[in-house]
Structure 1
């Protein structure tokens, strides 16, 4: 068991300036060095095309391109290397991963399961002044988001399905960022997800301030939408796209359903997800599917909770108060994870 910590960053201003601030934060951590070591261990199985990536960002996310340029201003890296690490758009290493999501009456709870060495350990509150929606949540691969909420009250999380037969397109954490950056409600999120080019197969779970919700099943070849409250790591509609082995995902879904009655409070849901004894929280870190954090989002009250590791008390944020101009004094939050594997920023 080791103590772990996530930094909290706040920024009000332009995407370019956020990129500058993010790069300065990175320079205080071994994140980029660790990332370069990972690329040496496993060569990328995709291409980087600078011109086409620029064009696709101008079409879908010009503000995020400015953020990457702000980072480059500080890091002084070649554009190809910036795109490899931060653009998350792939042309043309298969690991298993988990993640579990439950949609309550007025909240979303999720466990983020993956490998600690990929984890930024940075929680960001960002209020742009040059376009795009303000967001709160943990960052993934610096510019991406694995879950979060925006100023319109739209909540997003995703669950891995598989990486068989990948396509040219954005990877999951950049797609999560695009949903939060540009969509105000569930219909807009579905429309955007249908229009984007997707690299791999994931389910994107969304809930908005009106408590509409949807689970959008996506592959590079197809997309379908179901209106359900639970999601693990297998498709229910695009079943022909599932992996050959889905028993662990199905069993975890059965445990979740068995433990979650119709009137299930957000506090009970958090405890269910965050306690390893319930077998929804996972300790399979060496298999790239250990639970790193548990998140809860309340779109109507604009509140966000997060806890690192197991059996932890969540850190809570009133996002609306911060949007209204209140400062945030908290600089980090901590937890305990039962593995010797370390975060990318350690």
Structure 2
């Protein structure tokens, strides 16, 4: 068992300023060292074409390009390296688990993955140049694993497969773009239909009206369905599924069985975070162990999170933060049943 930590990063300013601050922090951080070590062990299965990446990003979210340039300047790294490590375009995300349950008033999810990829950065950012304020854990620094914006739009995503990839954006950058650019579920669905997808993922959306959808997005099609639970296989695009989805189906059945007992945020969070309910997973070496449990309440603008299992959540009042009052805590801590350190821990 190891103790892990997530640093709470709070920032108000332009995207370039945010990027520069992050670049300075990354310069001597284990995160950058971990990414560089990773590429020494595993050659990238993609090529970074800076003009192509810039054109794609500028078309949808030009201010995020400013953030990349800020990271490059702050970290003293070539822009090509920044795009390779943190760009979210033409990247190859690893396989993972994840479970989501959504009701009219909340969205809860388990983020299941391999700890070595976990940033350990909980980002709260209010842009002063363009875009909506967002709260949620980061992925590859610039992306978001899940989150909620100032309008109460919340999102989580679930992996389906990496086969038959095409040029496009990956899940954590798509999540970031949706939160910064969209005010409600309808706008998010429209963006998901327009944006090019690198891999196949489900995106689960909820807004302040209680409207919620599951969007199955692959490089070939984007379909919308209405349900309250989602794991790691498609329901409408069945041909996109992997051959072996029994574990994903079993988790979905477990959520359905437990649904009547998860009608409040407290009970839903407790159920997802409990190690004895069948949703939480300790399978870290197989890229599907639960690292954090998060819950979002769009109407109250509150964000819950805990690291590891059987934990009490930290609850952030995002509405209060938006008035200019910073959170007092600087870190989150938790324990995982593994010896694999997270990306922000010294090896």
Which residue of 1 is the match for residue 183 of structure 2?
184
Q: Does the CA-based 8 Å contact 1:160-1:203 persist in structure 2? A: yes
What residue in structure 2 maps to residue 57 of structure 1?
A: 57
**1:251-330 pair list within 5 angstroms:** 251-261=250-260, 264-330=263-329
Q: In the TM superposition, what are the counterparts of 1:209-288 in structure 2 within 5 Å?
A: 209-261=208-260, 264-288=263-287
After superposition, the C-alpha distances for 1:303-341 in whole angstroms (9 at most, x for unaligned) are 000000010111110000000111221101111111000
Q: 1:262 to 1:269 in 2, by over 3 A?
A: closer
Instruction: Kindly state the Cα deviation for residue 97 of structure 1 after the two structures are TM-superposed.
Output: 1.2
Partner Cα separation in structure 2 for residue 341 and residue 297 of structure 1: 28
Does residue 84 of structure 2 align to residue 84 of structure 1? Answer: yes
**TM-fit CA distance, 1:263:** 6.5
Contact 1:152 1:184 in 2 (8 A): yes
TM-score, normalization: structure 1?
A: 0.98
Structure 1 residues not aligned, in runs of 5+: none
Cα distance in 2 for residues equivalent to 1:180 and 1:209: 13
Deviation at 1:22, TM superposition (A): 1.1
Q: Classify the secondary structure of the residue corresponding to 1:345.
A: coil
* Separation in 1, partners of 2:131, 2:338: 38
User: Contact 2:96 / 2:287 at 8 angstroms: preserved in 1?
Assistant: yes
Moved more, 156-165 or 44-53: 44-53
| In 2, Cα distance between equivalents of 1:84 and 1:222 | 26
Aligned equivalent of 1:160 = 159
Asked if the contact 2:103/2:210 (under 8 Å) is kept, the reply is no
Say how many residue pairs are matched. 345
SS in 2 for 1:278: coil
Q: Distance in 2 between matches of 1:303 and 1:42?
A: 39
C-alpha contact (below 8 Å) 1:95/1:287 kept by paired residues: no
Indicate the residue corresponding to 1:341 in structure 2: 340
Query: In structure 2, the residue corresponding to 1:259 is in which secondary structure?
Result: helix
Contact 2:68 2:79 in 1 (8 A): no
In the alignment, what sits opposite 1:151? 150
Q: Cα gap change, 1:95/1:8 in structure 2, threshold over 3 Å: closer, same or farther?
A: closer
SS in 2 for 1:170: coil
Q: Report Cα offsets for 1:217-264 as digits up to 9, x if no partner.
A: 010001100011000000010011110010000000001110111761
What is the CA distance between 1:27 and its match in structure 2? 2.9
Partner of 2:9: 9
Distance apart, 1:79 and its partner CA: 1.9
Match of 1:34 in 2: 34
User: What is the alpha-carbon root mean square deviation over aligned residues?
Assistant: 1.2
State how far apart, in whole Å, the 2-side matches of 1:130 and 1:263 are: 40
Moved >6 Å (runs of 4+): none
Q: Give the whole-Å Cα distance in 2 for the aligned partners of 1:268 and 1:155.
A: 19
Asked if 1 retains the 8 angstrom alpha-carbon contact of 2:261 and 2:267, the reply is no
Q: Secondary structure, in 3 states, of the residue corresponding to 1:277?
A: coil
- Corresponding residue for 2:43? 43
CA spacing shift, 1:197–1:130, aligned 2, 3 Å = same
For the 8 Å contact 2:294–2:304, the answer to whether it is kept is yes
CA distance in 1, matches of 2:326, 2:284: 35
Q: Which residue of 2 aligns with 1:72?
A: 72
Paired with 1:201 and 1:37, the residues of 2 have a C-alpha distance of: 27
Check the 8 A contact 2:136/2:147 in 1, yes or no: yes
Per-residue deviation, 1:117: 0.6
